[in-house]
Structures are given as C-alpha cells and as structure tokens.
Structure 1
Amino acid sequence: MAGEARKLNRDGYVHAREAGEYQRLRDQALLWQGATEALLDQVELGPGMSALDVGSGPGAVMRLMADRVGSEGNVTGIEIDANLGAQAIAALRAEGGTTFAQINADVLTIDKVPGAPFDLVYCRFFLMHMQDPVAALEKMQGWVKPGGVIAAQEYDFGSIAVEPLCPAMAEFNRLFEGVFRGYGRNLRAGRQLPMQFEAAGIGLPDGTTAETKFIPLKEMAAMLIGVYQGLFASAAELGIGDRARAESFKNDITAAAEDGRYYCITPILIGAWKRLA
C-alpha cells in the first residue's frame, strides 16, 4: 500500500498529501460542482465582489467564484498545503478571468488576511476536518464585510450506503469511521452547521441546502478506493490498517462495480449561510 509508512501530516490532515489524493479532490469537486454553484447563486455572489475560499484545496471553488465576480472582482484562497495551493493558483492564473491570490497558512493561526474584509467567506469539506470548527468559523466571521455572507458546505456521512448489500462497504466503513473517530474528526459536520454557526456567534443560518446522489457504484468506486487508500497510513498508525484487508477491499469493490447491479448513495452535502449585519 503506497504511503503505508507515512506519518500523519503535521497539520493533522488525515488523508495522504500526494498526487492521487490531489486528483481525488479534483474529482470530488466535479461531483459537487452543481450544488456549490447553486449556493453561490443563492448568496448572490456577483460581478465586482470579493470572495475568500477557506481550505481552497485544488482551487475548484475559486474558479466558480471567479465565474461570478468577473474581471472586476477578486478571489482569494487559504490553503495549508503549500504544494496543492501552488498547483491551484498556477492553474487559475493561467485560465484568467479575475484577480486571484493564494495564502498558504493555517486558518487557526492567521489573523490578518490580505484583501479582507470580503463580500463572501466560504468553506467546503473543511470544518469536518477541524477539531475546533467553531474557532474556525469565528475566524471566518471576522473576515466578512458588514452586509457580506459567511457560508459553508459540509458532508454528513450518515447516508452513505450501497444497495443491494455490498460486503466491501463494511470494510470501507470500518476503516473510514475508525480513522475519523480516532483522530477526532466529524462524521456529522453538515447537520451540525446551524449549531456551530450559533456557537460561533454568527446566529442561525438565513438558509440551508442539502443534496445527495444515488448513482451506479461504477461511478463511485474509484472515489471510494481513493478515500480508503488515502486514509490507510492514518489507519495504520491507529492499528486498524491491514494490508491484506486493503487489497481485498479494492478487489471486492472493483468487482461489485463491474457487476452493474449496485448503486451508491453518497454522503449528504449540507450547506448553510448567513448575511452579517
């Protein structure tokens, strides 16, 4: 298993930081592009505005923001992984269309963000990795203009399943849930957004969204394998990663995908936003 001996990333990210994981993040962004576009439109991000993507990863949301703010607007990303951030900003600037900036930093330790305050401060698949999501939201709130919007989209993993019953998913869930719980990550981040907004002093959301997909397993198998492999080193550190089980999982989920009868219910992507006074 590639990366088996890797130590947990010093920044606490439980997935691998390597090319395969970066591609998985890009594929994940494509899967949820429509849901994020809908939220950006609901919060009325428009021409000439400024937007900050917290935990910007491969830059996919920054591109969606740029499509809305146009040449007179600006889009900034904060990403703790300097390598991934560098790849993202290079690609975005090559495409053009707006003014882009990238900040390589830990959200919890940075105070002043160039370009703040912003019309929109947003995160996706970010709070679920934070041991103190409320502290992250408090930081984000401080970077929003009066009258601007704070927004988040996070997974709720309570729905993920394969039908008919697929034995390989029991192994996926064992490792995935074991790593998330073992490192104090949040499997229910999406449904907890209203509570976290309140705890951060933001107030209850002005609006929420929720979206899931029910698609053939053959369209999700590569994603599930990528998640499993990206978490394997962290699982090994917890004593729950087993190479033989990992190989068996990959073979079994691939066979199930090729079978054609199996369908996957994805996690629910839940969004929430609040316009600040």
Structure 2
Amino acid sequence: MPADPDGYIHARNADGYQRLRDQAAMWREATETVLDRIELAPGISCLDVGAGPGAVMRLMADRVGAEGRVTGIEIDSELGAQALADLRAQGGSTFEMVAGDMLKLKEPPGAPFDLVYCRLFLMHMLDPVAALEKMAAWVKPGGVIAAQEFDFGSIGIEPPCPAMAEFNRLFEGVFRGHGRNLRAGRQLPAQFEAAGLGLPDGTEACAKFIPLKDMAQMLIGVYQSLFASAVELGIADPVRAEAFKADMTEAGEDGRYYCLTPILIAAWKRLA
C-alpha cells in the first residue's frame, strides 16, 4: 500500500495521533494569538479544515461560546470521530465533524461560516491554491479565511548535531519526493493572491528556541511517522532509523544542544 494513499505522508497510528496532540499543545499559544487577532465573537460559526485531533476546534469553541458553532473537516474518519467525541464530552459549543476529503466536498453542512481556517494543512496539498479557493467559497460575506503553516527553513540545532543531519536528510527527502511544500508558511501571501483573495489583512509568525531535551522526542516521532513514506522512496531502512533514534536520544540528554523550531506563519483575510 502506498504510504500516502490519500495524500498524507505521515503515519496514521496511535503514536502518530499522540504526536499531533503534542504538536498542538506546543503551538497552542501561537494559534490563540491568531484567533484573538481575528477577533472571534460569541455566537459565530467556525470551520477548521484538516481538524486532526480537534485542538484548534477547542480553541475556537472557547471564543464563540455556547451559542457558537464549530465544525471540522477531517479525512481520517477514526481521528475525526475521536476528536468529535472528546469535544462534545467537554462541551461549551455546538460541534460537528465532517469525514472526507475537502477537495471532494461540494459544501460542508452549516456553510457558509464566519471563519474558515486551516493549520498545517496546505503544506500537504499538491495544489494549495485550489484548497484556498474552496475554503473561500465557504466563507460568509464579511467573514474571514485564515491559514497557519510551517516554514521549515529555520529548523536546526546548535551546536551542529549529527543526528539532526540525518533528520533533515529524511525529512526533506520525503517532502520533496512526495511533492510537499517545505516553505508553505512564507508562501501564504502569494497563495492568497493566486486564489483571488488579495494580499492578507494580517500576518503573524512564531518560532521557538528551546533545549533539545524538550524537542528530541518530537523529532524522533516525526522521523518515525515519515518512515513508511521514506521507505517507499528508497531513502530509509530500519538500521539507519534505529541509529537515528539512539543518536537523537543521546543528544537530547547531553544538555548543550538547543533546537530552533520551524516558523509557524499565519495569514488571514476578511472577505467582502
């Protein structure tokens, strides 16, 4: 079976789902900043495209309240169903989840929305402009379209770390080999223009520079989640993967290394 039968190059398993939850927790504050700058109001409707474990839907619900409505689209039906169950158990808003490929959806239930948003979604799209065009069609007049994407140009470890060289080799090889975008964040303004939205009304960027001990397991998780896609391309094997895990674990325990994360870049536009 191809590693990415529906376009997703990471593994879909319990470890992969937990990695998504950990990633969401790491970038929660950056996303809260964007949602607050957009000025979500109580009672409005929001759509999260590529909702994953529902972390951003929770942040939306915290802002739109009990009278608001928060819908997600998630192609992984298992992940989406669990996210919806968790959100409804927590309460605080009206939640819905649509299982499916957004590019194949004519219109999600509840459209149009006051906010249509995606995070770490366009970087997986072979045609991100087409995805933005579809998202824009689901926005109410006067509503907002927003995207928040990684730019991987900054990621690195200081002082130089051999384990990071192996991470970069596999990561960049998989992204390029499967036609994915390593610079999605910095390309958002151009993609907005190409989708007919005009230049963004606002942007926001966030990066972290933290001890490697706080990032090593995340980097190992990303490597492992891309392993099947890397094998498909002929650029990975189990022996090399085990050596990377040991080397990155050792570097994380060393204490002298610091990791500069990718830059998480957001852009948004209020539509006429």
Normalised by the size of structure 1, how large is the TM-score? 0.97
What amino acid does structure 2 have at the position aligned with 1:229? Answer: Q
Gaps of 5+ in 2: none
Q: Identify which of 193, 199, 214 aligns with 2:209.
A: 214
Q: Identify which of 227, 242, 256 aligns with 1:232.
A: 227
What amino acid does structure 2 have at the position aligned with 1:251? Answer: A
| SS, match of residue 254 in structure 1 | helix
- The residue number in structure 2 matching 1:106 is 101
For 1:141 and 1:190, the matched residues in 2 are separated by 18
Q: Identify which of 24, 31, 46 aligns with 1:36.
A: 31
- The residue number in structure 1 matching 2:113 is 118
Deviation at 1:184, TM superposition (A): 0.2
For 1:135 and 1:7, the matched residues in 2 are separated by 24
Deviation at 1:58, TM superposition (A): 0.4
Gaps of 5+ in 1: 1-5
- The residue number in structure 2 matching 1:198 is 193
Normalised by the size of structure 2, how large is the TM-score? 0.99
- The residue number in structure 1 matching 2:158 is 163
- The residue number in structure 1 matching 2:49 is 54
- The residue number in structure 2 matching 1:140 is 135
Give yes or no for the alignment of 1:268 onto 2:255.
no
1:217-244 CA deviation, whole Å, 9 max, x = no partner? Answer: 0110111000000000100000001211
**Residues 230-239 or 6-15, more deviating:** 6-15
For 2:173 and 2:53, the matched residues in 1 are separated by 26
RMSD: 0.6
Give yes or no for the alignment of 1:247 onto 2:248.
no
Matched length: 272
Give yes or no for the alignment of 1:95 onto 2:63.
no
Deviation at 1:113, TM superposition (A): 1.1
| SS, match of residue 210 in structure 1 | strand
Give yes or no for the alignment of 1:152 onto 2:147.
yes
What amino acid does structure 2 have at the position aligned with 1:143? Answer: W
Over 3 Å off, 4+ runs: none
For 2:72 and 2:108, the matched residues in 1 are separated by 10
| SS, match of residue 148 in structure 1 | strand
Deviation at 1:9, TM superposition (A): 3.2
For 2:23 and 2:9, the matched residues in 1 are separated by 17
| SS, match of residue 104 in structure 2 | coil
| SS, match of residue 108 in structure 1 | helix
